[in-house]
A and B are shown apart, each in its own frame.
Chain A
Amino acid sequence: MTQYIIRRLLYSLPLLMGVNILTFVLFFVVNSPGDMARMQLGQKHVTEQSIANWKQQHGYDVPLLWNSDAQGEKKITDTIFYQKSVGLFLFRFGVSDSGRNIGADIKERAWPSLAVALPTLIVGLLVNICFALLMVLFRNSYLEHAGIVLCVILMSISSLFYIIGGQFFIGKILRLVPISGYDDGIAAIKFLILPVLIGVFSGIGSGARWYRTLFLEEVEKDYVRTARAKGLSETQTLFQHVLPNAMIPILTGVVVVLPLLFMGSLIMESFFSIPGLGSYTIDAINSQDFAIVRAMVFLGSVLYVIGLLLTDISYTLVDPRVRLS
């Protein structure tokens, strides 16, 4: 097991390197730092001097890959690639274009993100599974048909509608919870209710439908028929036999997204002005702060790779047929 994990970790290194090179190419080769400086300083009436100043301030005034003016090992270290991209591997995110320390920002902002994303995931999972189980229990009836139609309709509504509609009805008309904002500690709960509720609701359509197909696949299998032949009632087979088996794909599907929960949800956080990583990213995109976007891209892919690893491990834990080799 340990050996397998180590090997998987080694496998993920080239992946992260690929991501790193890709972002490097996107951010520095496709558009030179000079272009970025011009973008930041405004298009018109920018002097060469102010561009040079900006580049020096942000450390973009060295060559991309190879510094032929420098001495010894500085030939490599005094380059943008070394300073801006390699450091990411050690989670040294550096300083944002507006001068803040990205690493500290990320540490601080990951928790609010998690506070929204984790309850959304758990409640959503429970609701979706219950809904899907109900549909399977009443399969081939009008109830199921109504359920499927409801799912398709829920799926077809834009998530923006849920957010805007929810904020409007629950926040503005009923005045049950504040429309947006965030607070430290336990006081945050009243701000979290609405985003979690809306997040769960907007996921029901696709989630319940997907779980329904998983359950249906399981229901067709022989062991279920055997269970019925033994004389178990339909609810008993469903809860004691089908549910545990169908939980395997569901749980492993959840494990992939677990690490990514730290990243938060982009639109949710910005609509509800929660100071998480999602709104951090959006702010960076809107103010065209490339350093932050770069850091978030890398962080996101690291978390995804961890998620993949966790998935593989969880497979072996829940499904004895899968062996790590």
Chain B
Amino acid sequence: MVVLWTDALIYLLIVVMLALGLYLRGKEHIKRPLQQIGSSKIGMISLVVLLFFVLIGLLDSVHFKPADDKKNEIISLLDDWATPLREHGEKTYSAPFATMLYSKEMMMLADGSMQWDYPRLEFGGSHLDDPETQRIRDILQKGFYGLAQGVGLTGLFMTLYLCIPTLRRGNTVRVAPAAGAVVNPSTKAVWLVLFIIVPLATTLIHLSAYYHVFGTDKVGEDVFYQAVKSIRTGLVIGTLTTLIMLPMAIIFGILAGFFRGWVDDVIQYVYTTLNSIPGVLLIAASILMVQVYMANHEAAFTSVIVRADMRLLFLCMILGVTSWTGLCRLLRAETLKLREMEYVQAASALGVKQGAILLRHILPNVMHIVLISVVLDFSSLVLAEAVLSYINIGVDPTSYSWGNMINGARLEMAREPIVWWSLTAAFVFMFALVLAANLFADVVQDAFDPRRSGNE
């Protein structure tokens, strides 16, 4: 197993979240908003979609070197499972579900004469003898098979979910509460979404073994594979950036608000300075510097994936540096308000040390702001990645990301017939993730923001 830098940070993030979850388990003031999220249909639906993305991202974050490999590549679990997709490259573009290449080529016919025509794809639909007549039927058949698999799988899960509580209790009278849990509107919504997502995924997976479901790109790589691989990049940018900036924002924000005076002045000066540099330019400048650094220290980056990973990490750090100021300002304002509250005054009158006041009274009471801004930032960071990659200051051009896919495909809109599939796949995947994140952020904000509770 090989642990890349971003992998390590992702594991760290998971550990932190689990620890936080354990720590907050059973705390009354956390339970109420959580229940509110749990009973919100939109919240649960978007959470399921997000978790689905996270699952794929996690599968893509376990890297190892395959034992029988000579190329010294590092691949992830996802790559391992998608080996056919990864290796079934065509020569160049091909449309989704196509059996022919996008462009004509000179081919030798069986009788030795040459012909200028669309060649058959090497892998897409190669199992068909006569694509013209069989293709549609075959796609429907295979699609239906995959769909049935998915429905069956989800059905199995649902039965298990309903049965386990019954079996554990050991009697049959108790079926009622478990069945009642399914009838609960948000649980029903969750099962509904699962019944859509899982069959959709299995259909795509099943079909992708025979066809290029989203076509292939310029160098003949499967677009579906690229889009799925990009999920990890999007998630890493959305989460690690916040993980990196959080400590800075929390510590500085609280200190500035609590101690005021010169501490406040210095911290305010630092974040106003950083803020006054236009974000994109600061990112551009830093990424240029990283590029120069990497070019001069080529020896330190042994393989393409390590290099791309380092650049991704740098990008997260730089995005973190440019984005912590907003949260820091919010926290400062909130701390300024909190330190005048009676319970804080009482604590300091009772002789509680300042450090203890900060940790026990101030920090827990600003956490809702932190949580809300983390969830709100996520979607904008995912969107920002695409824009940055377009200006060549985003992730490494060799790594998979929606921004790189869009960047590579945007000039192809001028072709005739147009090559639309790369762009569409990237936009659809990005849209799904960002929409889910936005909806979930709304629900979280409603649940945790004290000013918002009550209305809506």
Contacts and interface: CB of A to CB of B under 8 A. Distances in A.
A250 interface: no
Contacts of B423: 164
Interface residues of B, number: 45
Interface stretch (B170-178, B253-261, B275-283): B275-283
Interface stretch (A12-20, A64-72, A76-84, A182-190): A12-20
A158 B389 CA distance: 13
Interface in B14-70: none
A288 interface: yes
Contacts of A270: 391
Nearest to A155: B438
Contact of B295 (A38, A281, A286): A38
A137 interface: no
Interface string A154-172: 0111111100100110001
B269 A15 contact: yes
Interface string A243-254: 000000000000
Given A26-B285, A152-B435, A159 B387 contact: yes
A293 B284 contact: yes
Contact of A156 (B276, B292, B295, B379): B379
A68 to B, nearest CB: 27
Most buried by B among A160, A161, A172, A286: A160
B92 interface: no
Interface in B283-299: 284-286, 288-289, 291-293, 295-296
B288 A22 contact: no
A296 interface: yes
Nearest to B424: A161
A39 interface: yes
A44 to B, nearest CB: 10
Given A157-B431, A285-B284, A286-B392, A19 B277 contact: yes
Given A26-B286, A159-B387, A293-B288, A38 B438 contact: no
B267 interface: no
Contacts of A286: 391-392
Nearest to B298: A43
A27 interface: yes
B231 interface: no
A211 to B, nearest CB: 16
A281 B284 contact: yes
B427 interface: yes
Contacts of B406: 158, 160, 164
B295 A305 contact: no
Nearest to A302: B276
A65 to B, nearest CB: 19
Given A26-B285, A267-B390, A290-B288, A158 B276 contact: no
A301 B278 contact: yes
A172 B430 contact: no
B413 A172 contact: yes
B226 to A, nearest CB: 16
Contacts, number: 128
A286 to B, nearest CB: 6
A157 B274 CA distance: 28
Contact of B273 (A15, A152, A168): A15
Contacts of A161: 427, 431
A297 B274 CA distance: 11
Nearest to B439: A152
Given A22-B273, A43-B295, A152-B438, A158 B386 contact: yes
Interface in A263-288: 263, 266-267, 270, 281-282, 285-286, 288
B427 A157 contact: yes
B393 interface: yes
A238 interface: no
A282 B391 contact: yes
Contacts of B289: 26-27, 30-31
A300 B427 contact: no
Nearest to B379: A156
Nearest to B433: A156
Given A27-B289, A160-B386, A168 B413 contact: yes
Contacts of A36: 292
A304 interface: yes
Contact of B277 (A22, A43, A216): A22
A19 B281 contact: no
A240 to B, nearest CB: 24
Contacts of B272: 15
B276 A164 contact: no
Nearest to A206: B380
A186 to B, nearest CB: 29
Contact of B393 (A19, A23, A285): A285
Contacts of A296: 281
A301 B438 contact: no
Contacts of A23: 277, 285
B438 A156 contact: yes
B434 interface: yes
Nearest to B279: A300
Interface of A: 14-16, 18-19, 22-23, 26-27, 30-31, 35-36, 38-39, 43, 152-153, 155-161, 164, 167-168, 172, 216, 220, 260, 263, 266-267, 270, 281-282, 285-286, 288, 290, 293-294, 296-297, 300-301, 304-305, 308
Closest CB pairs A-B (n = 4):
A18-B273, A300-B278, A156-B435, A301-B276
Given A31-B292, A158-B430, 20 more contacts: A14-B269, A18-B269, A19-B277, A23-B285, A26-B286, A31-B289, A39-B291, A39-B292, A43-B295, A153-B435, A156-B431, A158-B383, A158-B427, A158-B434, A260-B278, A267-B391, A281-B281, A293-B285, A301-B277, A301-B278
6 contacts: A18-B270, A27-B285, A164-B423, A267-B387, A285-B284, A297-B277
Interface of B: 269-270, 272-278, 280-282, 284-286, 288-289, 291-293, 295-296, 379, 383, 386-387, 390-393, 402, 406, 410, 413-414, 423, 427, 430-431, 434-435, 438-439, 442, 455
